[in-house]
Structure 1
């Protein structure tokens, strides 16, 4: 799964990496948590645009927004089947830029040790995501939300958890974003773990366990 991540790149790095055409705002963070607003990139059929979405997808048919807490991740293997994700998988896909993410490894004594995972070259990368628009019946406000797609783990991640976020290779990002591509059989082929040789992980302090802690010290190895 993916329950916490970072984004500490600059605005210009994001623009260069994802060919973003619009102006946008975001705050660098070393501890992005569910329910918070996250920076996402979508394609409107003409250009890539960046904006903030609430992390925790709310399907259009949901009666209230509490369901979002159960929708921070979506299993890639069943996107085309699940009513919550089926429509978004066809035409409302996004990518969520990140500098690295966290995972917790359960030890023999039942405790959990946090690890920080990033690319070996320390460059930006992106989670595959889905987005939706939900109209709040109590306020009539449109709320834009997202979820992070997960897949089976690669060899390195299997030592930490039985799932990992779908990390899209650069060559696949344009197709994932393209709303005109609705062939779910083809899209399903993109849902596979990034090879281990591109990634690295190391143990960090348990200070990351609290979302209120947010500083570069969180990603220091111990």
Structure 2
């Protein structure tokens, strides 16, 4: 699964990378090397353009860069807190699950990232006897932007007036699949990626082919590299580029750290 990732690029850089012509940002998000569930994140998506006079669809689509919350809230949800349990969507069941089925057809997006974290279960144990988890950062070998496949939804808050600008909540989820090859040794799930040649089709809300996930690429085929990093990223209080600094083998802990003994915090984050 994908439970944490890094996103440090500016909206201007992302708009250029993903050919966004209609940015919808009220403000830029600060760079983060420890993006956690329910945080505000960037998403690239396309919406069918509206006639400014009549409000009807005009057929053309416009590619947008928006801020959304990570953790999908289906439009029919009674309580938005459900989003904290929907940060990932399994590719194998997207077309079956009510929470994702409609979004797969018309509300697909790309979640840009520098890379993502996975926690490898080592043979060591904490003082409480729990397995020690070593975080790895997985990122494109060439330093390019990681285009994680996602879905988005728009939830209407029934407690707010129709003219309240906060009435609509935009949320997203990251699509995952089974991990194999080298990355599979770290974690059994990984995000699906949208290759450059598949971006137009994946984002097009008018495209409703039977198997849209065929457009996606498993992470291990995307030229990624994985390396161990500091366990400090296990706490949402920590952020900064030092979290993605490769950890030399001699710096890998050989005994439980104080953070691991304190609460084995990583278990809550996965």
Contact 1:89–1:184 (CA under 8 A) maintained in structure 2? no
2:212 is the counterpart of 1:190: no
Contact 1:64–1:136 (CA under 8 A) maintained in structure 2? no
2:184 is the counterpart of 1:158: yes
Distance 1:128 1:221, change over 3 A: same
1:74-110 Cα shifts (integer Å, max 9, x gaps) = 0011111100000000000010111111110011231
Distance 1:20 1:84, change over 3 A: same
Name the CA distance, whole Å, in 2 between partners of 1:192 and 1:137: 38
Which among 190, 199, 205 is matched to residue 230 of structure 2? 205
Name the CA distance, whole Å, in 2 between partners of 1:145 and 1:171: 25
**What is the TM-score of this pair, normalised by structure 2?**
0.78
2:35 is the counterpart of 1:32: yes
Residue 12 of structure 1: how far off its partner (Å): 3.2
Gaps of 5+ in 2: 49-60, 125-130, 162-166, 248-270
Distance 1:197 1:52, change over 3 A: closer
Q: SS in structure 2 opposite 1:117?
A: strand
**What is the TM-score of this pair, normalised by structure 1?**
0.94
2:59 is the counterpart of 1:44: no
- In our comparison, the structure showing a higher alpha carbon Rg is 2
Residue pairs, 1:53-132, within 5 angstroms: 53-109=68-124, 110-132=131-153
**Residue 258 of structure 2 corresponds to which residue in structure 1?**
none
**Residue 18 of structure 1 corresponds to which residue in structure 2?**
18
Gaps of 5+ in 1: none
191-200 vs 10-19, greater mean Cα deviation? 191-200
2:201 is the counterpart of 1:180: no
Q: SS in structure 2 opposite 1:105?
A: strand
1:124-149 Cα shifts (integer Å, max 9, x gaps) = 12111101111122335211111000
**Residue 221 of structure 1 corresponds to which residue in structure 2?**
246
State the 4+ residue runs in structure 1 displaced beyond 3 angstroms: 194-197
Aligned alpha-carbon RMSD (Å): 1.4
44-53 vs 66-75, greater mean Cα deviation? 44-53
Residue 188 of structure 1: how far off its partner (Å): 2.6
